[in-house]
Amino acid sequence: MRILVVEDDREVGAYLMKGLTESGHTVALAEAGREGLDRAVSETFDALVIDRMLPGLDGLSIVAALRAAKNLTPIVVLSALSDVEDRVVGLRAGCDDYLPKPFALSELLARLDAVTRRGSAETRLKVGDLEMDLLTRRVIRAGTEIDLLPREFRLLEYLMRHAGQIVTRGMLLERVWDHHFDPQTNVIDVHVSRLRQKIDRGFANPLLHTIRGTGYTLRSPGGREET
């Protein structure tokens, strides 16, 4: 997922950035309420993690503003205010979940999985004989399980969600690595090469193709993609 973290405590922000990134997610960080709201409105994220107590604009005001604008991005609010009444206020403001501080990263990850599943019935992706289970994070091709690193999983998920389409390097850097296109970097080529070795090597029909000078496409041999 592409996740926006809105947290003014730099130590907590760094902890979240590191933990979520190592879990395979793409993470952006805003350190003030107004900045967080502006980014949540102007950019596309799969989920938001928002601290309740923020300078300028508090977390629940961000939630209320987004919901008033019909923005339904799943939101988990973090807060040192942990009484039942505080949690009820947070949920009524429009957040999908409320996690008291201090918290375990594993619990935050589980809650993020849960709130994003609620908004989508899609739990499996399929391209040809390649299948991805988004809940168990398993990838299987023709009955053979494929072991992927978190970044490889995120890369393959993006390609499968755009099966049959041409995906540029710039799109991958922005959505999978979350930074702007640098024409000198070869990080995309390296990861795509490793991914191709894992999902295509040993199989008669390759799925991952390079479009010279443009990017890549993932397509089934017959050209029919499923999700």
Domains of the chain in start order, with CATH, are 2-118 (3.40.50.2300), 124-226 (1.10.10.10)
Model confidence over 110-158: pLDDT tens digits? 888 888 876 554 578 899 999 998 778 899 999 999 999 988 998 999 8
Residue 203 has pLDDT above 70, yes or no: yes
The pLDDT of residue 174 is 74
> Which uninterrupted H or E stretch holds 109?
helix 105-118
Instruction: Give residue 196's pLDDT.
Output: 96
Cβ–Cβ contacts within 10 Å for residue 110, how many? Answer: 12
- pLDDT beyond 70 at 58: yes
Q: Rounded distance, CA 173 to CA 154, Å?
A: 12
Any residues with CB less than 8 A from the CB of 191 and at least 6 apart, and which? 151, 152, 155
pLDDT for 76-98, tens place per residue? 999 888 788 888 888 888 998 99
pLDDT more than 90, % of the chain: 47
Alpha-carbon distance 189 to 124, whole Å? 26
pTM: 0.58
What is the pLDDT, as a whole number, of residue 115? 84
- What's the mean per-residue pLDDT of the chain? 87
Structure tokens given for 143: 């009955």
Is pLDDT of 181 > 80? no
